[in-house]
Structure 1
Amino acid sequence: MLVALFALQLGSLIAPAYACGCGAMIPDRNQHIGVDRESSAVRWDGRREQIVMRFTVRGTAQRAAWIMPVPGRADVELGDAELFDELEQLTRPEHKDRHYFWPRGDDWPFAGGASDGAGAPQPRAGAVGVVGRERLGPFDVARLTATDPKALSGWLEKNGFELSDGLAAELQPYVEQKWEYVAVRLAPDADGTTLRGELDPLRISFASERLIYPMRLSRLAKTPQSLGLYVLADHRMEPRDDIGGQTPEVTFAGPIEPEGAVAELTGDDGPVYLTAIDQSFPSPSRIDGDHELTSAAADTPYREVVYHDRILTVGGGIPVWFLTVAGVLLAAVGSVIAVHVQRRRPAARPAA
């Protein structure tokens, strides 16, 4: 899912509240838009890369443009809205009970009742070439080539949008590498309404011998950013380096049997390897490039485990510690009584 996404108002940046994304979001003049969350899934088979993104947006914008740099000629289509729900189910943590013997602060007799032990963690002066354009649901998609950022800025301005100087500068490395761009105009179906809520996912695919996830545009964000990414490939995948963020964390890794929307994305009947990665960027200005993901040294599976701590009980919910203490006390009392009785028993008289 789950990535450098920005909303620009009159050329100034409004950073998303949750996720950074692999593109830049630009609203109409005098309007603003924010991206609360972007979920991203990547499928790579060694030759072709597919990126599916779903935005959850808010703000006052009735139209917005989103720009994503890509290393080659891209195809764009609508994605399946069910994909991310299925991926979340596949990567959900495993829940296990973990028992303890002695009572704790929430257990009787220290508190009124037993704890339910819900120990879950709390949780981017030439010409612009238009190589394709189509309408996909609420999206007007243009696939562009540009010889310099100024040309791209000019195209955006002709279409009613503005490109900030900072964003133009960050696009320069992509121009030097001869990357292309996907430019998407977002507009709700009904006139006079704003872009709000969860938008239809977009699926972008392009030829690539390396698994690249564009992140450089995230440098412009003014607040800490987070990356959430599902990667579907032949092996467990990991970022080559942290590109200026905290160490990427694998939250799930393992082979899966694709079904439904996941199978439609992978195009495979057999198993594929799914890796879920989270990464935080406390200081986005330190981001120094795009993510390149490579095969890990081994396909070691991993699933997060959430432990529910529960006091050890037997039939009817009786705490074992209570029975143990009670048993020890009864045994002790019994021993004391036995000794007392033995002492009071009259001594036997010797036989005559």
Structure 2
Amino acid sequence: MRGTHRLLTTIVALLALQLGSLVAPAYACGCGAMVTNKMARIGVDRETSAVRWDERTGTEQIVMRFTVHGDADQAAWIMPVPHRADVTLGDPKLFDELDRLTAPEHRDRDYFWPRGDDWPFADEDVDGAAAAPPARAGSGVGVVGRERLGPFDVARLTATDPTALSTWLHRNGFELSDRLATELRPYVERKWEYVAVRLAPEKTGETLYGVLDPLRISFANDRPVYPMRLSRLATTPQSLGLFVLSGHRMEPRDSIGGDRPEVLFAGTIGKPSGALAELTGTGPVFLTAVDQSFPEPSRIDGDHELVRAATDTPYREIIWDDRLWTVGEVPVWLISVTGGLLLLTAGGFAAARARRARAGVRSAP
């Protein structure tokens, strides 16, 4: 057990070293731990990822994009991967295309009687317009790759000799988080590797804020998985948007401690194009969009294993746009009520005339 603990400790410290001495964990995000220095803070508001799993070739690709806030001018992100990974920049247009394909369908639905925002109930004084809403490593430490990708410094790491690595790190005065070491234990036991990414704004003095450029991580895998365990370290609720691209409709095996995953879209994309085609090829692919919230990240108890759904039933969310039924610009209810009143009035006049006529006949000599 002592050897395993030392291995966990040294791996975490090595990750911090590779990322430029960013040694104090602040927040966690899905699929990895986000770290920054002790004087800064960074949080992840939203994580959106596209997972492409090709069953024929046994390969998995994950394109990840984070929306962050805080005052950090540099940070780092750590992701465990089951096999040796290749890392490249992702295309931001991919998520624009996925959002377009999975957008809810809007349908109009007319209603007859006026409601609170309609005349004569609406306040006439209110405007009716809607508001617009490479570091050195000691013996037993492997840096299997290091690349500069736009604002990212990417290191891909292995560690096999905990004693030599611990000695080297101690001489360099590195601290580390016991919590992060604990959460990495299952990955160490399964002999996973790690992608360590240092990120910083391209202009000096800027902070990391808003939507970051996406990264694309590719590795061999016999079944699709989305690492989530390190999200247990988050101190605020987490939100995950997941697009799964495969030969069939896919879904998370379970909720892993979050709210029940909600399917927002499921359907076949016949001819992918643009950034999507670069990820999947031009042949048909089944796209499943899943959204999930984690109100209490500490309850996360594993990684998302993605499995084939029982059927390939298509689904698209429908949003009904209710509108008052009109002819031209005149409400149908007003036409109906007015017409009804006119008919009643005309009928009353006709009845009165008929009564007078009958009375005249009876009174004639």
When the two structures are superposed, what TM-score results if normalisation uses the length of structure 1?
0.85
Q: What amino acid sits opposite 2:189 in the alignment? A: E
- Indicate whether 1:317 and 2:329 are aligned: yes
CA contact (8 A) 2:78 2:196 kept: yes
- Bigger helix share: 2
Corresponding position of 1:91: 102
**Residues 23 and 204 of structure 1, relative CA distance in 2, 3 Å threshold:** same
Q: What do you get for the CA RMSD once the two structures are aligned?
A: 3.1
Aligned 1:166-181 pairs, distance under 5 A: 166-181=179-194
Q: Please give the secondary structure, in 2, of the residue aligned with 1:348.
A: helix
SS of alignment partner, residue 143 of structure 2: strand
Conserved? CA contact 2:26–2:36, under 8 Å: no
Give distance in 2, aligned partners of 1:115 and 1:252. 36
1:62 to 73, 91, 94: 73
SS in 2 for 1:53: strand
Where does 1:1-352 land on structure 2 (aligned, <5 Å)? 11-14=24-27, 20-46=29-55, 47-112=58-123, 127-147=140-160, 162-256=175-269, 257-266=271-280, 268-314=281-327, 316-345=328-357, 346-348=359-361
Change beyond 3 A, Cα 1:183–1:12: closer
Q: Return 5+ residue gaps in structure 2 as ranges.
A: 1-20, 134-138
CA-CA distance at 1:58 after TM superposition: 3.4
Distance in 2 separating the partners of 1:159 and 1:86: 46
Alignment deviations for residues 299-329 of structure 1 (CA, whole Å, 9 cap, x no partner): 1111111111101111x21111111111211
Give the AA of the match of 2:273: E
Q: 2-side partners of 1:171 and 1:108: how far apart?
A: 62
Amino acid at match of 2:274: G
Per-residue deviation, residues 224-255 of structure 1 (Å, max 9, x unmatched): 22211111111111111111111110011111
1:155, 1:130 → 2: CA distance?
15
CA distance in 2, matches of 1:153, 1:65: 21
Cα offset for 1:190?
Answer: 3.5
Distance 1:96 1:147 in 2: 59
How many residue pairs align between the two structures?
334
8 Å CA contact 2:25–2:36 kept in 1: the answer is no
Change (3 A) 1:146 1:9: closer
Deviation of 1:21 after TM superposition, in Å, equals 1.6
SS in 1 for 2:361: coil
Q: Which residue type is aligned with residue 320 of structure 1?
A: V
Per-residue deviation at 1:151?
Answer: 8.8
Residues in 1 aligned to 2:87 and 2:171: alpha-carbon distance in whole angstroms: 22
Alpha-carbon separation, structure 2, partners of 1:157 and 1:62 = 27
CA contact (8 A) 1:10 1:30 kept: no
Task: Give the corresponding residue for 1:3.
Answer: none
Q: Is the 8 A contact 1:27 1:161 kept in 2?
A: no
Cα 1:155/1:92, change in 2 over 3 Å: farther
| 1:28 shift after superposition | 3.0
- Structure 1 ranges of 4+ moved more than 6 A: 113-118, 148-161, 349-352
AA in 2 matched with 1:137: G
Q: Measure, in 1, the Cα distance between the counterparts of 2:171 and 2:341.
A: 88
Percent identity for Structure 1 against Structure 2: 68
Unaligned 5+ runs, structure 1: 1-7
